């Protein structure tokens, strides 16, 4: 897993220092946009911040599991077994309390490329953006 260093470039690939990007959001500041939430979730996966992933998933998401312990173990196994190589945000659109972010995540597992492209939906609930669900896009590459 990657260690988040406040003065280093952020893991999410924004080009900003972590402390002014995902670091602040991971420490409790609300994400300013769905894109900021998506970037912070990528960083949380890369750094093993499992609680953040669970807490920023919308309760009606198909990824939300009733057994939080089992869900946390599953997310931890994914996070620990994956090398997070990079993130490219390709498209973002917001309409009121909903948003779509398309991204390409470059990942490796056991030395194999498992990169993927996804169009994710987000919902702003009580002033906080939450991940709702995602739809795979064209094959990675």
Report the number of distinct structural domains present in the chain.
Answer: 1
Domain assignment present for residue 37? The answer is yes
**In CATH, what number is assigned to the domain containing residue 48?**
3.10.450.50
Which one, of 39, 118, 121, lies nearest residue 84 by Cα?
Answer: 39
Q: What is the mean pLDDT of each run of 10 residues along the chain (141 residues)?
A: 83 92 93 97 96 96 96 97 96 97 97 97 96 82 47
pTM score: 0.93
Domain assignment present for residue 118? The answer is yes
Which pLDDT value is given to residue 58? 97
Domain assignment present for residue 56? The answer is yes
Burial track 58-84 (b if 16+ CB lie within 10 A, e otherwise): beebeebeeeeeebeeebeeebeebeb
Domain assignment present for residue 4? The answer is no
Which pLDDT value is given to residue 4? 79
Burial of 43 (0-12, 13-18, 19+ CB in 10 A): buried
Which pLDDT value is given to residue 70? 97
Domain assignment present for residue 10? The answer is no
Domain assignment present for residue 115? The answer is yes
Domain assignment present for residue 50? The answer is yes
- Note down the domain range covering 33: 18-136
Domain assignment present for residue 7? The answer is no
Angstrom distance (rounded) from CA 51 to CA 55: 6
């Amino acid at each position: 897993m990657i260690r988040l260093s406040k003065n280093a470039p952020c893991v999410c690939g924004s080009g900003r220092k972590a402390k002014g990007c995902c670091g602040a959001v991971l420490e409790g500041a609300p994400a300013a946009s769905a894109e900021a939430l998506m970037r912070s979730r990528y960083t949380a996966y890369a750094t093993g911040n499992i609680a953040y992933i669970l807490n920023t998933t919308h309760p009606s998401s198909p990824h939300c599991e009733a057994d939080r312990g089992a869900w946390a173990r599953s997310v931890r196994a994914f996070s620990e077994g994956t090398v997070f190589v990079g993130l490219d945000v390709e498209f973002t659109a917001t309409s009121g309390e909903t948003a779509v972010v398309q991204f390409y995540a470059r990942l490796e597992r056991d030395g194999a490329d498992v990169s993927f492209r996804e169009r994710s939906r987000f919902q702003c609930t009580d002033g906080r953006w939450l991940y709702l669900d995602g739809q795979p896009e064209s094959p990675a590459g």
